[in-house]
Amino acid sequence: MRRFRNVKIVATLGPASNDYEMIRKLHEAGADVFRLNMSHGSHDEIRERHAIIRQVEKDLDSPIGILADLQGPKLRVGTFANDEEMLENGARFRLDLDETPGDVTRVCLPHPEIFQALEDGATLLVNDGKIRLKVLSFGADFAECEVINGGIISNRKGVNVPDVVLPLAALSEKDRRDLEFVCDLGIDWLALSFVQRVEDVEEARKLANGRAAILSKIEKPAAVKSFDDILAVSDGVMVARGDLGVELPVQNVPPIQKQLIRKCRRAAKPVIVATQMLESMIESPMPTRAEVSDVANAIYEGADAIMLSAESAAGQFPIEAVTTMDNVAKEVEADETYRDVIEASRSADRATVADGIVAAAREIAETTHIKAICCFTQSGTTALLTARERPRVPIVAMTSLRGTARRLALSWGVDCVMTGELERFKQAVVSAAHAARSRGYATEEDQILVTAGLPFNVPGTTNILRVAPCAERLIFATDPE
Chain CA centroid to CA 442, Å:
31
Identify whether 130 is a catalytic site residue.
no
d(CA 364, CA 366): 6
Tens-place pLDDT, residues 57-90? 999 999 999 999 999 988 999 999 999 999 999 9
Q: Which of these is catalytic: 25, 76, 266, 426?
A: 76
Tens-place pLDDT, residues 247-303? 899 999 999 999 999 999 999 999 999 999 999 999 999 999 999 999 999 999 999
Question: Mean of the per-residue pLDDT values for the chain?
Answer: 93
Tens-place pLDDT, residues 142-186? 999 999 999 999 999 999 998 888 888 879 999 999 999 999 999
User: Residue 51 — very low, low, confident or very high, per pLDDT cuts 50/70/90?
Assistant: very high
What pLDDT does 472 receive?
55
Strands 462-469 vs 447-453: parallel, antiparallel or unpaired = antiparallel
Percentage of the chain modeled with pLDDT above 90: 85
What pLDDT does 477 receive?
39
Q: Going from the N-terminus, what domains does the chain have, and what CATH number goes with each?
A: 8-72+169-336 (3.20.20.60), 84-160 (2.40.33.10), 353-478 (3.40.1380.20)
d(CA 381, CA 384): 5
- Phi, then psi, of 465 in degrees rounded to 5: -140, 130
Q: Which of these is catalytic: 5, 24, 205, 217?
A: 217
Chain CA centroid to CA 295, Å:
14
What pLDDT does 28 receive?
98
Q: 460 pLDDT exceeds 90?
A: no
Bond preceding residue 162 cis, omega within 30 of 0: no
Q: Which of these is catalytic: 8, 24, 35, 388?
A: 35
Identify whether 35 is a catalytic site residue.
yes
Q: 473 pLDDT exceeds 60?
A: no
Whether residue 436 contacts residue 374, with contact meaning beta carbons closer than 8 Å, is answered with: yes
Q: Which of these is catalytic: 94, 106, 205, 275?
A: 275
- Phi, then psi, of 380 in degrees rounded to 5: 100, -10
Identify whether 217 is a catalytic site residue.
yes
Count helices and strands in the chain by DSSP H and E runs: 18, 21
Paired residues of 76 in beta bridges: 158
Q: Is the dihedral of CA 475, 459, 200, 253 positive or negative?
A: negative
201 vs 128 pLDDT, higher one:
201
Identify whether 76 is a catalytic site residue.
yes
- Say whether pTM exceeds 0.85: yes
Strands 65-69 vs 189-192: parallel, antiparallel or unpaired = parallel
